[in-house]
A and B are shown apart, each in its own frame.
Chain A
Amino acid sequence: MKTHITSIVIALCLVMLAGSARADGKKLVVVVAKGSSLTNISRAELKRCFLGEAVSGGGKTLVPFNAAPNSPDRAGFDKAVLGMSPDEVGRFWVDRKVRGQSGAPRSLPSAAHMAKVAAKFPGAIGYLPVDRMTSDVQAVSVDDVPYTDKRYDIAAQ
Chain B
Amino acid sequence: MSSPPRTASAGGFSIRKLRTLVLIALVAGVAVFTSVMLTLVHSLSDRFGPQVAADLEWRTMRGAQELSRAVDIGLAAEDPGMVEEAFGSYAASSDVQAIVAANAKGEVLAHHGSIGSIAPIWAAPPGTLVRGDGYIASWAPSTIEGTQVGKICIVVSTGRLTHAQALLSSVSRTTLIAGIAGALLGALVILFFTRQVRIRDQQLADHARNLEHKVDERTRELDERSRGMRLVLDNVAQGFVTIDLDGVLATERSAIFDRWFGPPEPGATFGALLARHDADLAGWLALGLDSVRDGFLPPELCLEQLPRRFTAGAATFAIEYSPIVNGDRVERILLILSDITERVVRERADREQRELVAMVQRITVDRAGFDEFLDEASGLVASLATAGDPVTERRMIHTLKGNCGIYGLTSVAELCHQIETEIADEPGPVGEPHRLALAEAWRGTTARLAQLLGIDRRNVIEVEFAELARVIDKVRHGLAGRELAAVLTSWSHEPVARRFERLGRHATTLARRLGKGELDIVICDEGIRLDTARWAPFWSALVHAVRNAVDHGIEPPDVRAVAGKPARPRLTFSATRGRGRLMISVSDDGGGIDWEAVRVRARAAGVPAESQTDLELALFRDGVSTASGVTDVSGRGIGMAALRDAVIALGGTIELESVTGTGVVMRYRFPEADGEILALRPPTQPTFHTA
Name the residue of chain A whose CB is nearest to the CB of B76.
A121
Contact indicator B77/A116 (Cβ below 8 Å): yes
Closest-by-CB residue of A relative to B147 is: A122
Question: In A106-122, which residues have CB < 8 Å from any B CB?
Answer: 106, 108, 113, 116-117, 120-122
Q: How far is it, in angstroms, between the C-alpha of A120 and the C-alpha of B76 when the chains are bound? A: 6
A63 within 8 A of B: yes
With A63-B147, A121-B147 as known contacts, state yes or no: A108 contacts B78, CB within 8 Å: no
B interface list, Cβ under 8 A from A: 73, 76-79, 82, 144-145, 147, 149
Interface range on chain A (Cβ under 8 Å from partner): 10 to 19
- How many pairs, one residue from A and one from B, have CB atoms within 8 Å of each other in the complex? 29
User: Known contacts A63-B144, A63-B147; is A120 also within 8 Å of B73 by CB?
Assistant: no
Over the window 128-155 of chain A, the binary record of Cβ atoms lying under 8 Å from chain B Cβ atoms (1 yes, 0 no) is 0000000000000000000000000000
Residues of B with C-beta under 8 A to A61: 145
Residues of A within 8 A of B145 (CB): 61, 63, 123
Q: Which residues on the B side are within 8 Å of A113 (C-beta)?
A: 73, 77, 79, 82
Contact of B77 among A63, A120, A122 (CB under 8 A): A120
Given A63-B147, A113-B79: 13 more A-B contacts, CB < 8 Å: A61-B145, A108-B73, A113-B73, A116-B78, A117-B73, A117-B76, A117-B77, A120-B78, A121-B76, A121-B147, A122-B147, A123-B145, A124-B76
Chain B min CB distance to A85 (Å):
26
CA A116 to CA B73, docked complex, whole Å: 9
Query: Which residues of A come within 8 Å of B, CB atoms?
Result: 61, 63, 106, 108, 113, 116-117, 120-124
**In the bound complex, how far is the Cα of B149 from the Cα of A113, in angstroms?**
15
CB contacts (< 8 Å) of B147 on chain A: these are 63, 121-123
Q: Report the Cα distance A123→B149, complex, angstroms.
A: 12
Can you list 19 A-B pairs with a CB-CB distance of less than 8 A? Answer: A63-B144, A63-B145, A63-B147, A106-B73, A106-B144, A113-B73, A113-B77, A113-B79, A113-B82, A116-B79, A117-B73, A117-B76, A120-B76, A120-B78, A121-B144, A121-B147, A121-B149, A123-B145, A123-B147
Please give me the 4 A-B residue pairs with the lowest Cβ-Cβ distance, nearest first. A116-B77, A121-B76, A63-B145, A117-B77
A109 → chain B closest CB, angstroms: 8
> Closest CB of chain B to A123's CB: distance in Å?
8
Chain A residues whose C-beta falls within 8 Å of the C-beta of B76 in the assembled complex? 117, 120-121, 124
In the assembled complex, the Cα of A151 lies from the Cα of B76 at a distance in Å of: 33
Cα-based distance from A140 to B77 in the complex (angstroms): 20
- How far apart are the CA atoms of A2 and B147 in the complex, in Å? 67
Min distance, Cβ B368 to any Cβ of chain A, angstroms:
161
- B364 smallest CB distance to A (angstroms): 158
Q: Which residues of B contact A116 (CB under 8 A)?
A: 77-79
CB nearest to B77 among chain A residues: A116
Chain A residues with CB below 8 A from B77, complex form: 113, 116-117, 120-121
Residue on A nearest B145 in the bound complex, by CB: A63
Closest B residue to A63 using CB positions: B145
List B contacts of A122 (CB < 8 A): 147
